[in-house]
Structures are given as structure tokens and as C-alpha cells.
Structure 1
Amino acid sequence: MIANDLSQTVVTLFAGLGALLVFMGLGLAYALKNHLLSIVDTLWGLGFVVVAAVSAIVSLGGDGGRAQRWIVLAMVAVWGLRLAWHVGGRNHGKGEDPRYAELLENGEKAGRSFAQTAVTRVFVPQGVAMFIVSAPLMVGPNNERMSVPLTVVGVVVWAVGLFFETVGDAQLKKYKSDPDNKGKIMDTGLWSLTRHPNYFGDAAVWWGLGIVAAGSWPGIVALIGPAIMSYSLVNVTGAKLNEKSQRKKPGWDDYARRTSYFIPLPPKR
């Protein structure tokens, strides 16, 4: 039984890795053809959908938690497709994202071509990050027993996260669409409870996925992915990076004083 689980785990990991390589390779080809690195932001959510789909299909040949895989696939698909639609719609027709424009400029100064920067600074790092974060979710459901209580808890946590991410993005989009709000700080709705409802929601979505995929060994390793994602969202690529630009806006200090950094809490008076 243990040997079968180990064999299924190895097959699933290699299948997921292969699918991710093909997917990111196609994304890289698109970026090179259109000279547009920001496409990688749209690919972020879609990549996890591809990995989850391949894992679910591969599980048909094993003895692991097939039901868990299909539940995880459905949850990842809803989250990933929504995120890709949101990011793709936001970036469409706007040219290169300033972050990548700066990256390309620095690369040019260092003597790197567009292709070299795209591969070494964008697509390879993001592909590696996607595999590391999603690998535990591929391994977790290889145990045969599915915990119904954990599945229910996981779906609830995921739903709360999806609500915060979706509604937070929608509120911010509506706020920014009003020219009178240019340069101002969004501090109403979910943004009055946390300075980063979208990033909090993203983290909660991944904890929900991890809880569903967990249950018994080796399922517990499924919590590694959410832990890595949460750390990144809080301290690296998400909230921390976003606040570097937000601090320049008038009224930021007061907003930061009364509003929770990440976990939603009632605003301070």
C-alpha cells in the first residue's frame, strides 16, 4: 500500500511538472512573440488549474483520494479562472506592466536580451514557484481516506477567501473607475477591515485547498503550499510590495493606523 502510494505520488509529481513545463513554455513563446512579459500574471492562476487538472486525471489510475482531487480541481478552477479573467481584463491593451518594464530596462543595462530576461527573471522563477506551491496539493490526496469534516471546513475557508478576493477586487476596480478618487486611498467596504482583502482572500483560498487535500499522511504535506503562499503574500510579493507605493498617498498613515494589515478586523477609532 505504501509502495503504491509512493509510486502514485511520483507519477503525479512528474505529470504535473511536465504539464507545467509545457504550459509555461507556451506562455514564454507568446511573451517573446508579442514582446510582453506581463502575460505571465494572467498565466499565474491558469497554471494551477492545469496542474490540478493533470493531477486529477492521473489519479484515475491510482488508489488515492480521487474524490479529493476532483474537489480540489473544482476549487482551483473557480479561483484560477476568476483570477486570470480579472488580471487579463485589467492588463488588456495597457502594454507592458511598469514592474516588467523596469525589469527589462535593468536587464538591458546589464547586457541581457529580452529573451534572457524573460527566461531567467520571469518565467523560470514563476514556474518554479508554481510547482513548489502546487506540489503539496498533488501529493496530499494520495491517501485513500477522505476526511468529510476536513473537506467541509476546507470548502468553507476557501469560500470565505474567494469572497474577500472577488469582492475586494471588485470594490477596488469600482473605486478606481471614478476619476475623483485618483491618488486617494480606498478605505471603505472590505478595505476598511484589512488593507489587503484581496491578498487575505488569496491566502484563505489556499488554506482551504490545503485543508481539503489534507487528512492523513501524506495529506498533511498539503499544508506546505498554503504556508508558502501566505508568507509570500504577506512578506514578499503581495501586501508588502503593494504598500511601498501606497505609502506615498496622502492619508496613508491614518489609514494604516486604524486598519488591520492583513487579517480582517474592525477598524480602530
Structure 2
Amino acid sequence: MSFQHAARSLVVVLVASILGLAFAWFAGSGSLPFAGLPAVFVCALIAFGVNWLAFIPAALFQSDRYYDTTGALTYLSVTATACFATYELRGALELQALAVAGMVGIWTVRLGSFLFTRIHAAGGTDVRFEKIKVNPPRFLVAWTLQACWVIFTASAALVIITSPEPRQLDAFFWAGTALWVIGFAFEVIADDQKRRFRADPANHGTFITSGLWAWSQHPNYFGEITLWAGILVIALPQLSGTGWLVVFSPVFVALLLTRVSGINLLDAIAKKRWGDDPAWQAYVARTPVLFPRPPR
């Protein structure tokens, strides 16, 4: 790798780090202070620290085996930090903060274990990293972006947990919780349906069109966007000033899953595999891409 390419990768790392930390600083400007800094900003420092530490052995062994696991660990770390900061300053965590921390924790453990199982079933490697894991500067970009992913996605939850003013369980909480439950159910059920479909040798080389996959081409992604939107709804009453930046949380998830590393990539792969198959063409024609609709 040339010096120019390495320098370019390190510039991306620097810019991404600045953006992630700046976002956390302003979005969490109204959060409780912790160690003299906004608690949400401290959580962002933790996110980068966890990923950069994990990068060291990953780069040495040129392995991406624990990349997704580190992502899950990052979510748990920043959520635990937010809870600890609030408990230290208030002496207690109100029910709403505990509920939101539980939502993030449940989602993280479920998705983290699902991805861990999937990567090990695939031999412990991910095709996304085949070329970049042998290139430390480029590999560092991936770990840095994972920290940014956690910061942007979890921002609304962190603001709720570290709010300086305790809040009662209001209509926003119940509406947001209902959205979270719907989204989580869609994600879990869709992932399990696809896992069972792929485990059946009779389905080798074919695509799933049953269950929630008859309602949407990507029901699991719909679920993930919906559950983070639910957490944002819970946060709405306490947002002010630059705290409104956390509205970006579900928007970021939607952009990531539809434009960056989700639907666009999967659809390209599917089109390459089955683009000439009339059954695939009929499925795509009758099934919504993202937002579910009962099958006709």
C-alpha cells in the first residue's frame, strides 16, 4: 500500500472521529456532566476506545472474526457508562431510563449473538473485509466507522438515560415503547424465518418468500429502523437546542440500511443470482422493498 493511500485512510479516520465526537458533544449538551464533560460525549469516547483497542489484535492477526461482537460490546459499554454516570450523580435511575437501557441491551445481545453465530457458521470471516483486513490503515477505518455507527444510532437512548431531569412514564414513552416492540418483533421473527429457511437443504440456492418475507423484501431492516424510531419518540419531550440532533438516529439507521451497506448491496447480489428468474421477478413486483404490506 502506498503512503498516499495510507494517508488517505488516516484522514478518513480523523474526520470520522471528529464528526462522531462533535455530534456527541452537541447532541448530548443537555446531558448530565460526568468527569467534567457531557455524559453522552464521554460515551462517545468509550465507543472509540473500545473499537480502537479491539483493532490492535485484529490487525495483528488480520482477522475480522470479532468485528460484529465488538460492535455489540460497544453498545453495551456506552449504555452501561450512561447508566453509571446517571446513578453516580442522581443516586438512582428512574424507570424510563432503566426501560430504555433494557431496550438497547436486549436488542444488542440478540443481534450480537445472531451475528456471532452467523460469522462462525461462515468460517469466521466476512467477505466485506477480505481486502481491507490485510491493510491496517483501511482496516482502522472500518473500526472507527463502527464506533460512529454506535454513537449516531444510540444517541437518543443515551440522551434519555443521562437526562438531568427525571421524567414520568408519559404518552411518548408508551407510544415509543409500542414502536420498539413492533420493530424488535419484526427483526427477530424475520431473522429466524430466514435462518430456518437457509438451514433446510431443500432451499439451497433459492430465495425466501414466506412469512414476513412475503410482506416485505427486507422485513428485518424495517424492524431495526422502527425500533430506533420508537426510542426517538420516547426522547422527544426532553429535546431542546442542539439536542434535537438525535433525530438523526433513526434517519442514520435508515440511510445505512438502504443506501450504504444493506438493501442496495443485497439487491445487487440477488439481481445477479436470480435476475432472470421469473419467480424472482414476480416476487419483487408484488412485494414492497421495505415497508410491509400483507401479501395479495
Instruction: Give me the TM-score of the superposition, normalised by structure 1.
Output: 0.85
Does residue 40 of structure 2 align to residue 13 of structure 1?
A: yes
AA aligned to 1:8 is: P
Q: Distance between the aligned counterparts of 1:6 and 1:160, measured in 2?
A: 28
2:269 aligned partner: 245
Separation in 2, partners of 1:200, 1:149: 23
Question: Is the contact made by 2:32 and 2:164 (CA closer than 8 Å) also made in structure 1?
Answer: no
Q: Which residue of 1 aligns with 2:212?
A: 190
Alignment of 1:208-219 (within 5 A): 208-218=230-240
Counterpart in the other structure of 1:109: none
Contact map agreement 1:154 1:207 (CA 8 A) in 2 = yes
* Counterpart residue identity of residue 129, structure 2: Y
CA contact (8 A) 2:30 2:164 kept: yes
Which amino acid counterpart does residue 82 of structure 1 have in structure 2? R
Query: What is the percentage of aligned positions where both structures have the same residue?
Result: 23
Distance between the aligned counterparts of 1:85 and 1:28, measured in 2? 20
SS in 2 for 1:267: coil
Alpha-carbon offset, residue 146 of structure 1? 3.9
Contact 1:52 1:72 in 2 (8 A): no
- Pick the aligned partner of 2:114 from 74, 86, 89: 86
**How far apart, CA to CA, are the structure 2 residues paired with 1:265 and 1:102?**
39
Aligned counterparts, 1:23-42, within 5 A: 23-42=50-69
Question: How far apart are the structure 2 equivalents of 1:11 and 1:67?
Answer: 22
Q: Residues 28 and 45 (structure 1 numbering): CA distance in 2 closer, same or farther, change over 3 Å? A: same
The residue type paired with residue 124 of structure 2 is G
Q: CA deviation at 1:191?
A: 0.3
Unaligned runs of 5+ in 2: 1-28
Partner Cα distance (2:183, 2:31) in 1:
32
Asked if 2 retains the 8 angstrom alpha-carbon contact of 1:68 and 1:213, the reply is no
Residue 73 of structure 2: aligned partner: 46
Deviations 1:5-33 (A, max 9, x none): 46638421232023212321332134234
Q: Which residue of 2 aligns with 1:231?
A: 255
* 2:48–2:144 Cα contact (<8 Å) kept: no
| Cα contact 1:147–1:215 (8 A) shared by 2 | no
1:131 paired to 2:151: yes
Change (3 A) 1:61 1:214: farther
**Cα distance in structure 1, aligned partners of 2:212 and 2:295:** 11
Distance change (3 Å), C-alpha of 1:103 and 1:244? farther
Equivalent pairs counted in the alignment come to 256
When residues 69 and 80 of structure 1 are mapped into structure 2, their CA distance, relative to the original with a 3 A threshold, is same
Unaligned segments of structure 1, at least 5 residues: 105-112
Post-superposition CA distance 1:159-213 (Å, at most 9, x none): 1111111111111011001122122110000000001111111111111222223
What secondary structure does 1:206 align onto? helix
Equivalent-residue separation in structure 1 for 2:57 and 2:31 (angstroms):
36
CA change 1:260–1:50 in 2 (3 A) is same
- Going from structure 1 to structure 2, the CA distance change for 1:128 and 1:5 (only over 3 Å counts) comes to closer
Cα deviation, residue 62, structure 1: 4.2
Could you state the TM-score of these two structures normalised by the residue count of structure 2? 0.78
